[in-house]
A and B are shown apart, each in its own frame.
Chain A
Amino acid sequence: MSRLSSEADAPTEASGEELAPVDPTRQAVVDVLRDALGAEHVLDEVIEGNDVWVRVAPTVWREAANVARAALGMTYFCFLSAIDWKQNPELGGQKLWDPDADAGEGPSDGPGAWTTGKAGGDTRFQVVCRLYNVTTHVGLTLKADAGDDNPRIDSLVPLFRGADWHERETWEMYGIDFEGHPGLRHLYLPTEFEGYPLRKDFPLLAREVKPWPGLVNVEGLPGEEAGDTDESAEGGES
């Protein structure tokens, strides 16, 4: 029996709208979290098909993971990462990044402003963690706001030892400080690397110097057409 659920659900907007009929197991996940953490700390939830998204207040981040592990049996640590919600449309598709464009204002709808995804969000950086129960096959995506300028959140290493590498990677890519982590240092990047690459205001220099030429119908043989193929190999490196 196919378990594909996409034909039944259309992607919903954020802010807790639930589709009927809701899977009781998934609803129970949210209820357990709400009871254990207190309703004021569970800021938003979305249940869609087989997935549960819950956004919690950043102060109860570790507590939420603990509840998931202890009460819901989600002992499998899938991943932990972050999302930078700063809208910078110049980075997508075929346009150039413009360093003089205005930075976005606050989280409201509007050009160049922040709009956040499932289960909402208030700040620019959001931490996402996924936990899973390997016997009942129920997964939970936890989200928490980390902050705008100096993002920081609790570390999950005391609960899940596997969070160690994930948090190191998130730190070096976004600059999110994990409090309680045994040693935040570079995992992927060389030690002298400056900057946080996955932030939306980190430009890809090669695309700045030589913009993506767009769809090319037929590529000429090397040496046939003047210019393009040779220059793109030499331009952009210094």
Chain B
Amino acid sequence: MGLIDRGLAPKPLTKILNLARSYSLWMYQWGLACCAIEMAAAMGSPRYDIMRLGVIPLPASARQADVVVIAGTVTDKIVPSLRRLYEQMPDPKYVISMGSCANCGGPYWDSYSVTKGVDQIIPVDVYVPGCPPRPEALLQGVLMLQERIKNEDMAVRWRGGVGERGEPIVVGG
């Protein structure tokens, strides 16, 4: 799509494309620990249904995912797998870090085997704090991410890659 990366695509077109992208997020869930249960409740429970926002869980593989939710404690042992699976995702990709363990190490801030925050490994777009955050908090994080995607400049994103992400969103902050 040569028009988009040169910034020559007309505004209405990019607006429609952004809208389409934000409402069709395929979410790859890295459910690691307790936050995974809240994430599963957000997805599977009819009370906090995340599919009404257009977000579908369970892509067949990382290569078909748009957004990844890192939910739970990231340990040093799993970091190579995390990095590899993140790199398998195609651009444009977004990262939601769910829970205090993924944000900053959380209650295990002094442990010898915990990575203090997944943002040491991969760049994060949305931080959802909580231990565990309620499913509504995750839904708000997704909504804020969708707002950002709708207002994104696709040309800048295409060219800039990681550096042009913008400031990460913190839910509730």
Complex CA gap A205/B105 in Å reads 14
1/0 per residue, CB under 8 A from A, across B9-28: the answer is 00000000000000000000
Complex CA gap A233/B105 in Å reads 9
A16 located at the interface, meaning its Cβ lies under 8 Å from any Cβ of chain B in the complex:
no
Q: Which residues of A are found within 8 Å of B170, using beta-carbon distances?
A: 222
Complex CA gap A212/B110 in Å reads 9
Q: Are B173 and A197 in contact (CB under 8 A)?
A: no
User: What residue of chain A has the Cβ atom nearest to residue B112's Cβ?
Assistant: A197
1/0 per residue, CB under 8 A from B, across A202-238: the answer is 1011110000100000000011000000001100110
A190 located at the interface, meaning its Cβ lies under 8 Å from any Cβ of chain B in the complex:
yes
Q: Are B77 and A237 in contact (CB under 8 A)?
A: no
Q: Which residues of B are found within 8 Å of A212, using beta-carbon distances?
A: 110
Name the interface residues of B113-152: CB closer than 8 Å to any CB of A. 113, 116-117, 120
1/0 per residue, CB under 8 A from A, across B101-115: the answer is 000110001111100
Q: Which residues of A are found within 8 Å of B117, using beta-carbon distances?
A: 233, 237
B76 located at the interface, meaning its Cβ lies under 8 Å from any Cβ of chain A in the complex:
yes
Q: Which residues of B are found within 8 Å of A204, using beta-carbon distances?
A: 110-112
Q: Which residues of A are found within 8 Å of B110, using beta-carbon distances?
A: 204, 206-207, 212
Q: Are A206 and B116 in contact (CB under 8 A)?
A: yes
Q: Are A236 and B116 in contact (CB under 8 A)?
A: yes
A189 located at the interface, meaning its Cβ lies under 8 Å from any Cβ of chain B in the complex:
yes
Q: Which residues of B are found within 8 Å of A197, using beta-carbon distances?
A: 112-113
Complex CA gap A66/B113 in Å reads 36
Complex CA gap A76/B113 in Å reads 31
Q: Are B77 and A190 in contact (CB under 8 A)?
A: yes
Q: Are A188 and B113 in contact (CB under 8 A)?
A: yes
- Smallest distance from the beta carbon of A23 to chain B beta carbons, Å? 40
User: What residue of chain B has the Cβ atom nearest to residue A195's Cβ?
Assistant: B112
User: What residue of chain B has the Cβ atom nearest to residue A208's Cβ?
Assistant: B110
- Smallest distance from the beta carbon of B84 to chain A beta carbons, Å? 15
Closest A-B pairs by Cβ, 10 of them: A206-B110, A190-B77, A204-B110, A233-B104, A207-B110, A222-B173, A197-B112, A237-B116, A206-B109, A190-B76
Residues of A within 8 A of B (CB): 188-190, 197, 202, 204-207, 212, 222-223, 232-233, 236-237
* A–B Cβ pairs within 8 angstroms, 19 of them: A190-B76, A197-B113, A202-B112, A204-B111, A204-B112, A205-B112, A206-B105, A206-B110, A206-B111, A206-B116, A207-B110, A222-B173, A232-B109, A233-B104, A233-B117, A236-B109, A236-B116, A237-B116, A237-B117
